[in-house]
Each structure stands twice: as structure tokens, then as C-alpha cells.
Chains A and B, each alone.
Chain A
Amino acid sequence: MRRSRPAVLVARRLLAVPVVLLALSTAVFLAMRLLPGSPATALSAGGGQTLTAAELSANQARVSQALGLDQPILTQYLRFLGDLVRLDLGSSFYGSNSVLGLLAGALPATIELTLLAMAIAVLLGVVSGVVAALRKGTWIDASARTVATVSFSLPWFALGVLGVVVFGVWLRWLPVIGRLPNALDYHPTTNFVLLDAILQDRPELVLPWLRYLILPATTLALSMAGFITRIVRASVLEVLGDDFVRTARMKGLAEGAVVRRHVLRNSWLPIVTVLGLQFGSLLGGSVITETVFSYPGVGSLLVKGVLQRDYPVVQGAALAIALLFTLVNVAVDLFYLVLDPRLRKG
């Protein structure tokens, strides 16, 4: 009885996923076609040769026809949907790579980036938030809050460029372009480097991977860490005032145990909610960060696709990002159910 409820909840969430994805892909489909400029213009400008106006428009017509862009929008849309149902995301207008293939390379890169960023943000944010709350009103609290506010208001782009300049150009400590050194002999199995390092038994992959990942991940993490610090501090302070904390002290528990067993666990609830919501902005930030660091993730793919009016790539990348976001939120719901027995009753 008690067990079936969460399953129902999560199932309902999962059922909503296709609806969300359909709405989103329709929006992207329309947005791309409403943007000025078409792939035909870009593609039919012959490399280097000067073409007459007549040749150019003949080229454009041929390209449009080849790509199916001369069809009415509704026809294009229905075909797009038909393909989508069969999980066929089409192929890039440039070089005819399949979009699924491009995503298979880019999505793991983005997942690695956002997960590491999330981990760094949670670590920094939770530690500083808890310390600030426990030392409320002292200089430690004041400085933690100041740092949090500053880092929260730093734009990703500025932070990314700063990271590139300081660590890449001045100090030359870290590589700032790409995901792995070109010289590295890496044949992806899953495209998750850490996983492949284990599967292929190649521990030497891990260090270069981390060296490339750490700077963009930290860039992405800092503003979120600032945000988490503030949420955690507020949450811990609130829980510290709860009656059951006094009960824990009444038991004779040492303050450390009171905080660990009673305060922190109860503080996690609002924090997890916020993390789920913030993951969306983290994905947004990853688009910018990936571009600054030329990191070959879905964000880079999306930006390049938009610039080149590469409709299938943009649609695929947007879908992938949306899917990631929805799945993380389902995971948050599940986590919530694990954390809080009160929700299990439904």
C-alpha cells in the first residue's frame, strides 16, 4: 500500500515527459523556420566562386528541394513528427552526420560537465551554507554570505573568459579548449570518459579528462554554489529553530550529532527542490560555458546549429537538453520521496 504511491507519482511525471517534449520540439521547429535566413542561402553560396544571381537562386531552389524545405510547413512538420516517433532525428544539413550520432558524442560531454558542476556547486554551497548558519552573525557568516552573493551575481560568460585568461593564458595551468587533448588516443565506447576509462581499463584517461573539465565545470558551478550557499544557510537556520532539534539536544546528543542527524537531513528537503529547479539554469549556463571553452557538448552543438540554420541539429540538441532537464526533475522527485516519508503517503 504505502509503496505503490511513489510509483504512481513518478509514473505520472514520466507520462508528462512526451507531452513536454512534443510541445518543445514544435516550438523549436517553428522558431527555426521563422528566423530570418535559411540553410539554403548558407549552403548554396558556392565556396570561393562568384555565382551570378540566377545561378545562386537556382542553387537555392535545388538545395531547398533536396532538404525538403520547399514543402509547405505543415507537410514538413508532419514529416518531422513522423520521424520523431521513429526516433529518427534526421541528419545535419552539413556533412550529413546523423543527429543521433552527433548527440551520442555531445550529450555525454554535457552530462559530464553539468554533473561535475553540480557536484562542485553542492559541495561548496552546502559546506559554506552550513558553516555560515552554524556561525550565524560572526565574521565567518558575513564573509560566506558576501562571497556567495558576489559569485551568484557573476555572469557565466565573464567568469568563463576570466578563467580562460587566468588559468589558460597567464598561468598556463590548464587547457582551455576542447574536451580531451588531440594527441590522446581515445576510442569512445559510451562517450563517458570516466566510464570508458573503467570499461577499457585505461586509468590514464582520467587525469587529462579532469584537467580539461575542471575549469568549465567550476565556471558553471560558482554562481550556483553562491545560490546554494544562501538556500542552505536559510534552510539550516530554519531547521535549527525547530522543536525536534531541541528534543535532540534534550537527549544529550553532542552538537555535532544534532547537526548531522537532525538538522542536516531536514535541511535537505528545500535544498533538493532548489537543485532540481536550478538544474535548468545550469543547462542554460552550460550552453554559454561550452561555447567559451569550445567544449564539444550539446550546448556547442546547439549554438553552431542555430548559427548555421542547421534545423535538424538544433531540434535534436534542444530535445536532448529538454529530456535531460525533465529526467533530472523526475530524479529529484524520486529523491524527495526517499528523503521525506511524509510525502510517501501521497
Chain B
Amino acid sequence: MTDPVLEVRGLRVEFDLPGGRLPAVAGVDLTLRRGEILALVGESGSGKSALSMSLVGLNRGPRTHISGEVSFGGRNLVEAPESELRLVRGKDITVVFQDALAALNPLHRAGAQVAEMIRTHRDVSRAAAWDRSVALLGEVGIASPRENAKAYPHQLSGGMRQRVMIAMGLANDPAVLIADEPTTALDVTIQAQVLGVLERLRADHGTSIILITHDLGVVAEVADRVAVMYAGAIVEQGTREEVLFAPQHPYTMGLLASVPPVDGPIAARLPAIPGSPLTGIDRPAGCAFAPRCAFAHDACAERPALTRRFGGPGHLDACVLDEPARAAARPEGSRS
């Protein structure tokens, strides 16, 4: 569980917009270790998808500027040419996208879409690829995979579509699987099943998984480590226990406070962090969360680095508050 599979250093992703450049990812350092499930959490627009797409250059384009380092297999993928990156995509690093209905080709059968993934990287016959894709569909828990492989996406349920995406994601036994909110659109039972599939995948194949979500319940259930993202930067990072039970950053604390009690009233589901996330082109020089932070003071005018402060050895945060202030800020129930 210790050797790093993927190392991200100083990653920036900027989009050209009519008014200027939007720093969707503003300098991210992240390490993904072998066989771990790393949860990437943050509000909508914090740059989770932009970050994960850029790892394999899926958002490359004339209006996107990606810089920094993504080391994988001894190479910097940010600098790798498309022709080289193609060999990594779908084979070593795969992505399970957010909206499975949109992410599947409506005109191709489910099994064929999985089979295409296989045949892109392996020299096997059509029939062999089909058989393997049927087996994969069975593996991710799709009932009567032989029949459902022949179905078109619109004929499958949301949960089945998401599983087809996952089957596709693991078709070539990747080292890294990025799952972008794989359970958001699903009901709780199906959600649990899909998470179970991811856990089994990690256990059986040693796959490293980046699990993007804004659902802290999901994090609590399956994540080994957690990285909290705000306005394109990681503000806190640590083990699941560290981040969920001893949060160091006021933003993480706010996120935790906004988690509704399981059977609580609807009002409890309203976000507890006042203000709205920073998504515009203009960013303050200092801490990006300061404008919304109840504990902001003069020292926040300078951007704090993500480093170990008051947490455990691997528990990093980007906040200048001292320990007593943090303890006072922590919501009820998460105090360690």
C-alpha cells in the first residue's frame, strides 16, 4: 500500500474564457498509492473533474492550458504526445464518467462498447472480446449479462449503465481507475452495490482508484484517503479517519457540518457553509476560502501551502489557524 502509482506535482489546468483564463486547477500536488481508494471531494465547480480529466489529457484542446507534472510509469503524462497518451488511456488509466447515459454511445450495444475498449489495446478476435465483455458485465453485477450485453444504453437502468461504464473501466485491468461521481444519479441500494464493485476491484486486482464525489457518506464508506478540493486547490488531505474525524481546514469542517443526519429533516440538508464557492476568473492572492471563512484574519491574505501542521504524519492542510482555533471551529461530533 505504499509505493506511489501516480504522482501529481504542481498541476495547473486553465481554460480560456471570453474574459480571461479560468484556473480550474490551480497547482495541485497529489500522490496515489498502489491499491488505495483516494476520495476527491469538494463542492460543484471546485475542479475535481478538470483535475481528473487532465491526468490523461482528456480535456486537452486549443483553449485548455495544462502544465505541471503527472508522473506515471516513469513519464510525465502532461508532456506526453497524444500518440503516447493513447496507449495509456483505457489501458493503464481509465475513467468512469459522471453521467453514464451521456457517456455511452447511444447507437452501440453495451457489450460492444466494452469490447471496443478491449480490442483497442489487445489483439483479440471480435468473438473473444465479446465473450470477455460479457464476463466483465457479469463481474460488475449485471444480471443475465449475455442478454444485457446486447442491449442498447437506453434499454438499461441507470445502475446498469453505470456498471457498464465500470466494466469498461476495468476491461484492461488498469493500474488506475478514476471514477467521477459514479453513484450520484443512483438510489441508495444501487449506490452501495456500485461501491461494492469498486472495493472488490481494488481487493482482487490491486487497482488504485480515484473516487470523485461530493457525498461524504460515500467517502466514509470506501475511501482510504481523502483529498478535499476548494477552488482548484487541495486544502486538506489525509486518511479517511483523519479528515472525517479530525478535520484541520475550516472548509472541510463546513463540509462535514453540512452532511445531513441520515434521517434528519430536509432543512438539515441545506449547505452549512455560507457564501458560494469561488468559480470565477479572478482569484484572491491569499487563501481562496478566506472570503467565506468565519475564522479568516490578516494572515489569510497570503496563500498557505498544503503541508503538515497539526495532524498526523500524512495529514496535510492549507490553513494558517493555530490549534486552539481549529479545535474551537470543529463541528460537534467530529471532535477527536
Chains A and B belong together in one complex: yes
How long is the Cα–Cα vector from A280 to B99 in the complex, in angstroms? 40
B107–A249 CB distance below 8 A: no
Q: Is the CB of B105 within 8 A of A250?
A: no
10 contacts between A and B (CB under 8 A): A243-B99, A244-B105, A246-B103, A249-B58, A250-B56, A250-B89, A252-B121, A253-B116, A266-B107, A345-B154
Instruction: Tell whether, in the assembled complex, residue B97 and residue A247 are in contact, meaning their CB atoms are under 8 Å apart.
Output: yes
Give chain B residues whose Cβ lies under 8 Å from the Cβ of A257: 120
* B86 adjacent to A254 (CB under 8 Å): yes
Q: Per-residue CB proximity of A89-122 to B under 8 Å, as 1/0?
A: 0000000000000000000000000000000000
Taking CB atoms and an 8 Å cut-off, the chain B residues in 142-195 that contact chain A are 152, 154-155, 168
Q: How many A-B residue pairs have CB under 8 A?
A: 70
Stretch at the interface among A216-224, A298-306, A335-343: A335-343
CB-based contact A340/B86 at 8 Å: no
User: CA of A254 to CA of B155 in the docked complex: distance in angstroms?
Assistant: 28
Q: Are B102 and A251 in contact (CB under 8 A)?
A: no
Residue B253, interface by CB 8 Å: no
Contact of A342 among B94, B97, B106 (CB under 8 A): B106
A211 on the B face (CB < 8 A)? no
A residues with CB within 8 A of B: 242-244, 246-255, 257, 261-262, 265-266, 339-342, 345
Confirm or deny: B91 has a beta carbon within 8 angstroms of a beta carbon on chain A. yes
**Known contacts A250-B94, A251-B120: A244-B86 contact under CB 8 Å:** no
Chain B residues at the A interface, C-beta cutoff of 8 Å = 53, 56, 58, 82, 86-91, 94-95, 97, 99, 102-107, 113, 116-117, 120-121, 152, 154-155, 168
Report Cα–Cα, A243/B59, bound state, in Å. Answer: 12
When distances are taken between beta carbons in the complex, the residues of chain A under 8 Å from B91 are 252
Q: Is the CB of A266 within 8 A of B97?
A: no
Residues on A with beta carbons closer than 8 Å to the beta carbon of B107? 265-266, 339-341
- B105's partner among A247, A252, A345 (CB-CB below 8 A) is A247
Q: Are A242 and B94 in contact (CB under 8 A)?
A: no
Q: Which residues of B contact A265 (CB under 8 A)?
A: 107
What 16 new A-B contacts, CB under 8 Å, besides A247-B105, A249-B58? A243-B99, A244-B104, A244-B105, A246-B58, A246-B103, A247-B104, A248-B105, A250-B94, A251-B117, A252-B120, A253-B90, A253-B120, A265-B107, A339-B107, A340-B107, A342-B152
Q: Are A251 and B105 in contact (CB under 8 A)?
A: no
Q: Which residues of chain B have C-beta atoms less than 8 A from A254's C-beta?
A: 86
B18 CB, min distance to chain A CBs, angstroms: 15
Assess the A253–B154 pair: CB atoms within 8 A.
no
* Chain A residues within an 8 Å CB radius of B82: 255
The distance in angstroms between the C-alpha atoms of A35 and B23, with both chains bound, is 71
- Assess the A244–B102 pair: CB atoms within 8 A: yes
Give B44 Cβ to nearest chain A Cβ, in Å.
17
Q: Could you tell me the distance in whole angstroms from the C-beta of B214 to the nearest C-beta in chain A?
A: 19
Once bound together, how far apart are the Cα atoms of A244 and B106, in whole Å?
8
Give min CB distance, A191 to chain B, whole Å: 38
CB pair B102 A242 closer than 8 Å: yes
Are A252 and B89 CB-contacts (below 8 A) given A246-B97, A341-B154, A342-B154? yes
B186 CB to closest chain A CB, in angstroms? Answer: 17
Q: Which residues of A contact B152 (CB under 8 A)?
A: 341-342
Chain B neighbourhood of A246, CB < 8 A: 53, 58, 97, 103
Is the CB–CB distance between B106 and A250 below 8 Å? no
